[in-house]
Each structure stands twice: as C-alpha cells, then as structure tokens.
C-alpha cells in the first residue's frame, strides 16, 4: 500500500480548512446516513457527503447545524478528492446490488490503502466477497454492522466492524467516538473489531435474529396477559416494573410505552394496529445460517415463523371459524401470575441467547474467525435494539471463562435458569391448555428439556434410518466411532450384521 499520511485522520481535524483534507466521506443520505453524519460532525469530524439524488444532499446540508463540518458534493469524484488519506468512506446505501454498484463507482478514484466501510445491512457473505475483491485492488474493505435505528445512528449506535484488519487502526478512534458507550462509567465504546471477512455483518445478523426472538418473547407475554383480561394500562405498568429489574432492556421499556399510548379519542393505539408483522429478512438469514452450522437456534426460528403466520390475516380469520380449540380467555389458568410470566420471559430469553452464542461459536469455528464472544456481548450492551442489563451478565460469563462450553453452564445463568424455568413451564402448560399459541416459550422449554436429557429418543431415529436406508448406527455396548447395521427384516432386530467406519 502506498499510503498515506498517518493515522492522524483518525482524530477530528482541527478545522484548518480543505488543505489538510476532510476526515471522512459518507455515501447515502437516507435516515441512517443523515443521522450518522450528524453524529460524526458532532464529534468534530469533517464529513464530505454524497447522495445519488443531489436534492437530498442539498436539503440536508442546508438544514444541518454543523456548518462546514458537513459539506455536500455533487459527484463521487469530488467527494473522494476532498478527503485526506488514507481516505475513509462510509456507505449507507440500500443493501444488495446497490452496494456493489456504489463501490464500483468509487473505486476508480481511490488509491492504495484507502478504506471503504459498508455500514448497511449487508448479508455477511456479500461482505466476505467484497473484502476479498477489494483487497485485490489494495483497497481495505470493512463490513460494519450498525444497530440502533435512527436514534442510535444519531446519538451512538452499536457498531460491529469486520473485514480488513489493517484498516482498523485508521478508523478505530472515529468509530468508537460515535458509538454508544456502556459500562459503569458509560465510557466503554460499543464498537470493537469483530473479526475478518464478513464477521461484522455476521454478528449484526445474529443480533437481529436475537432481536426477533426478544420481540416474540414479549409479544407472547402480552398475548397471555391480554387473554387473562388485563387492561393495557396494567400491562404497561407491569412491563415498566419488569424494566426495573433483571429484564431491564430497551425492548421492555418501549413495550411499556407502547401499551400506555393512547389516541386522542382515549383509545389504546395498540388495539388499533393490525396484527400482521413485517420482516426484512435478517431473522430468516440468521436461522438459515444457524441451520447450516448445525445449531438449533429454534426460538428465533419460531419468531420468524410466528411473523409469517401473523401475515396470513384473512386465512387466520377463516381458520378461526372452522378449527376448534379451547376459548383462551376463561380457560387461561387464573393462577398464572405476573411473576410466572416474568420468569417465562427471562428463561426464554436466556435460552435464546444461549442458542445465539452457540451459533456464533460454531460460525467462528467454521469460518476461522476467532470471534471473542464476551467482546461481542459487550458490543450489544448499549446503542442497539437488544441492549439490556442481561448482556453485562453474558459478557461477565465469557470474561470469567472464555472457553465456556455453553452459556447455560455459567454458574450465574444455571442458577438463574433453575429458578425461572418453573415459571416458563407453568406458562407453557397454561397457554397450551388454553389454546393460546406461545411458540417462543414452548420452543425454549422444549430445547431446555431436550438439552438436559442425557439419554434421549434418537436411538429410535437411528434405528429407523438404518432400517430403511442402511445408514448404520453406533451402539452403547461398543466404542463411539464404530458403526453397525442390522438386517431388521431378515435375521431379526437384534442381530448386528457388520461394523463400518464412519
Ligand atoms: P437516493 O436518495 O438517491 O434514492 C437508501 O435507499 C440510500 O441508498 C439512499 O441514499 C439512496 O439514494 C441510496 N441508493 C439507492 N439506490 C441507489 C443506487 N442505485 N445508486 C446509488 N445510491 C442508491
């Protein structure tokens, strides 16, 4: 790399004009882009911005309060030329082919060692591909997951950068400056290097999958409490109370506010919203990846599935007419307390995070990324949608034992789960008896019971596979790794007819 000045562009420039070059470029002035630019400018960075539609650039630059800390350019070439080297250019454009198009349009104006940071919601495999392709041209590519929505982008998101590690020293200070801060003194940046290739976007994808799960877990608590006849105000108060304890989190907090919100007429807004959930695909991507890695991220899978079922609005209305079941409201076990439901939320969440971290661990192994699971938990403590006190405990668990086999084996979580699991079980039983769908809770409980079963029923699956497909099986009375086939029909079910290597 021919590089370049130094890492000085990493710190905000002192404002001595264009001669020294501007600190950072940003392409894509939709909501996330605009807010990230304002955040950068507020931290003293001089940002050069470009948007395909120039009117958007002009309107934004005219309106913003940071003067020449934010300058708009009509062409990519001008924007690139305004930057000090190594140039740092953040892309916040629509995920998919647009990212490739924008990269193509920028690269001719870049020099060796310049840095392109994709802060959009790209699929991690695309980021891996882009990093490899740009490395061939001596351009450093960083795929950075950014979570926190509009508000996070403006005031401090969680940032999960991965890709060309050579570029990290040149962007570290800037990205950490604009990120959310966590920890007792709120001075620990929720931004740290995640790993090579598409690791940053992978971790962001898992974050989003977990977010689907957390949302479904809360929606099921709402469904149960509604079926128990509790008023929205009471539920709002309950969520607010939960937000004072171990469940303290952004999603619990906003759920309380949503349930308390009323229209001018006095009617609850929540009661007027169609019960059909949208999705943009990151939950589905998470589940696909987990499946590919052999990891049962089933709570998130149920959350994705529940959104799909919710979208069948007309079909559900017809099914409600013809498919019988208990009448949920009176049948729901009146003895199911708010504490039981709080336990169900906590236990289900814990199991979901354990599944998520199992997937991260497997991805780290499969892709050779050496992910630091404790550091990832730390990145999610503030700024992002799943931020919660809970993540401090996960970070602590991995800090104490970096090679922790499973989050559920951490003594704090094992203890917490053993006291909350009874509430989850009671909740699932009550909901099932009442005919109320609680896919996330039921899935969490089933995983828990399966995971803690030392001798399960898969011996029958193996026998069936061997019966119809001669797939062979291992035996309890022989060492692992020796494979046997039985001639089930011919010489009797007990006969072992051979041993095979795996
Ligand atoms: P626009 O304002 O010109 O539509 C999110 O959609 C961001 O991606 C917007 O800033 C949008 O620019 C940008 N974008 C979408 N498609 C694009 C394309 N084909 N080329 C460049 N930018 C694009």
**385 CA distance to ligand 1 middle (Å):** 24
Q: Is residue 411 part of a domain?
A: yes
Got the DSSP string for 89-123? EEE---TTHHHHHHHHHHGGG--TT-EEEE-S---
Residues 20 and 135 both lie in one domain: yes
Question: Do 183 and 220 share a domain, yes or no?
Answer: no
Which pLDDT score, from 0 to 100, does residue 437 have? 97
Query: So which residues are the catalytic ones?
Result: 204, 211
> Up-side HSE of residue 24: CA atoms within 13 Å toward CB?
30
pLDDT of residue 495: 43
Read off the pLDDT of each residue in 458-487 and give the average, rounded to a whole number: 97
Which among 173, 197, 221 is the end of a domain?
A: 197
User: Using 50, 70 and 90 to split pLDDT, how confident is the model at 276?
Assistant: very high
Same domain, residue pair 287 and 433 = yes
Cβ of 29 closer than 6 Å to ligand 1, yes or no, is: yes
**Is a pLDDT exceeding 70 seen at residue 379?**
yes
183 & 214 share domain: no
Asked if residue 94 has its Cβ within 6 Å of ligand 1, the reply is yes
Helices (H), 43-188: 54-63, 76-81, 97-106, 124-135, 149-155, 168-178
CATH number, domain of 35, equals 3.40.50.720
Domain span at residue 384 reads 204-448
Q: Domain check: are 384 and 424 in the same one?
A: yes
Q: What is the spatial distance between Cα 301 and Cα 402, in angstroms, rounded to a whole number? A: 27
* Residue labelled with tokens 């590690």: 165
CATH of the domain at 477: 1.20.5.320
pLDDT in tens, 157-186: 999 999 999 999 999 999 999 999 999 999
How many domains are there within the chain?
3
How deeply is 451 buried, as exposed, middle or buried, from its count of CB atoms within 10 A (0-12, 13-18, 19+)? middle
Q: Which residues contact 40 (CB under 8 A, 6 or more apart)?
A: 23, 24, 26, 47, 174, 178
**139 and 219 belong to one structural domain:** no
Q: What is the CATH number of the domain that holds 396?
A: 1.10.1040.10
Minimum CA distance residue for ligand 1 atom 10: 28
Residue 98 belongs to some domain of the structure:
yes
Q: Based on the domain organization, do 397 and 300 belong to the same domain?
A: yes
Question: 384 in ligand 1 pocket by Cβ < 6 Å?
Answer: no
Average pLDDT, the chain: 93
> Quick one: 374 and 309 in the same domain?
yes
Query: Are both 193 and 208 inside the same structural domain?
Result: no
For residues 65 and 100, membership in a common domain is answered with yes
In this structure, are 411 and 462 located in the same domain?
no
Condensed to tens digits (0 to 9), the pLDDT of residues 200-224 reads: 999 999 999 999 999 999 999 999 9
**How do residues 32-74 score in pLDDT, each as one tens digit?**
999 999 999 999 999 999 999 999 999 999 999 999 999 999 9
Contacts of 469 (CB under 8 A, 6+ apart): none
Query: Among 154, 169, 197, where does a domain finish?
Result: 197
Q: Given a cut of 80, is residue 102 above it in pLDDT?
A: yes
256 and 387 assigned to the same domain? yes
Q: Which pair of tokens denotes residue 154?
A: 């403006």
3 state DSSP class of 335: coil
Q: Is 103 among the domain residues?
A: yes
Amino acid 490: pLDDT:
77
Q: Does residue 501 form part of some domain?
A: no
């Amino acid at each position: 790399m021919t590089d370049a000045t130094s890492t000085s562009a990493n710190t905000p420039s002192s404002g001595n004009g264009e001669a020294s070059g501007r600190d950072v470029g940003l392409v894509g002035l939709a909501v996330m882009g605009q807010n990230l630019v304002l955040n950068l400018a507020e931290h003293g960075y001089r940002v050069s911005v470009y948007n395909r539609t120039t009117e958007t650039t002009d309107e934004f630059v005219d309106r913003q309060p940071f003067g020449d800390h934010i300058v708009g350019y009509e062409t990519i070439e001008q924007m690139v030329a305004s930057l000090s080297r190594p140039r740092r250019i953040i892309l916040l454009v629509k995920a998919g082919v647009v990212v490739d198009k924008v990269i193509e349009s920028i690269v001719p104006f870049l020099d060796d060692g310049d840095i392109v940071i994709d802060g959009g919601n790209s699929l991690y495999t695309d980021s891996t591909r882009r990093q490899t392709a740009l490395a061939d041209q001596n351009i450093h590519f960083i795929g950075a997951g950014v979570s926190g929505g509009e508000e996070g982008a403006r005031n401090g998101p969680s940032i999960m950068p991965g890709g060309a590690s050579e570029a990290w020293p040149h962007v570290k200070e800037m990205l950490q400056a604009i990120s959310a801060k966590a920890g007792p003194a709120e001075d620990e940046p929720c931004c740290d290097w995640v790993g090579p290739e598409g690791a940053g976007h992978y971790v962001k994808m898992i974050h989003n999958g977990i977010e689907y799960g957390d949302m479904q877990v809360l929606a099921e608590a709402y469904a149960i409490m509604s079926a128990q006849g509790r008023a929205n105000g009471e539920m709002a108060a309950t969520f607010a109370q939960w937000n004072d304890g171990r469940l303290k989190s952004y999603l619990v907090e906003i759920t309380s506010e949503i349930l308390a919100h009323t229209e001018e007429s006095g009617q609850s807004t929540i009661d007027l919203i169609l019960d059909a959930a949208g999705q943009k695909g990151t939950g589905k991507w998470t589940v696909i990846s987990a499946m590919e890695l052999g990891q049962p991220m089933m709570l998130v899978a149920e959350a994705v599935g529940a959104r799909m079922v919710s979208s069948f609005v007309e079909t559900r209305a017809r099914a409600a007419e013809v498919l019988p079941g208990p009448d949920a409201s009176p049948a729901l076990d009146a003895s199911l307390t708010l504490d039981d439901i709080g336990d169900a939320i906590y236990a289900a969440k814990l199991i979901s995070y354990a599944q998520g971290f199992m997937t991260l661990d497997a991805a780290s192994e499969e892709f050779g990324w050496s992910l630091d699971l404790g550091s990832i938990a730390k990145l999610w403590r503030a700024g992002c949608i799943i931020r919660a006190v809970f993540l401090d405990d996960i970070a602590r668990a991995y800090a104490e034992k970096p090679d922790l086999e499973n989050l559920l084996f951490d003594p704090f979580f094992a203890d917490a789960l053993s006291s909350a699991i009874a509430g989850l079980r009671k909740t699932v039983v009550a909901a099932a008896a009442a005919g109320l769908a609680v896919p996330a809770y039921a899935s969490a409980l089933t995983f828990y019971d399966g995971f803690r079963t030392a001798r399960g029923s898969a011996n029958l699956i193996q026998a069936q596979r061997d019966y119809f497909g001669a797939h062979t099986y291992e035996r309890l009375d022989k060492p692992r790794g020796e494979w046997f086939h039985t001639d089930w029909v011919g010489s009797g079910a007990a006969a072992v007819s051979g041993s095979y290597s795996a």
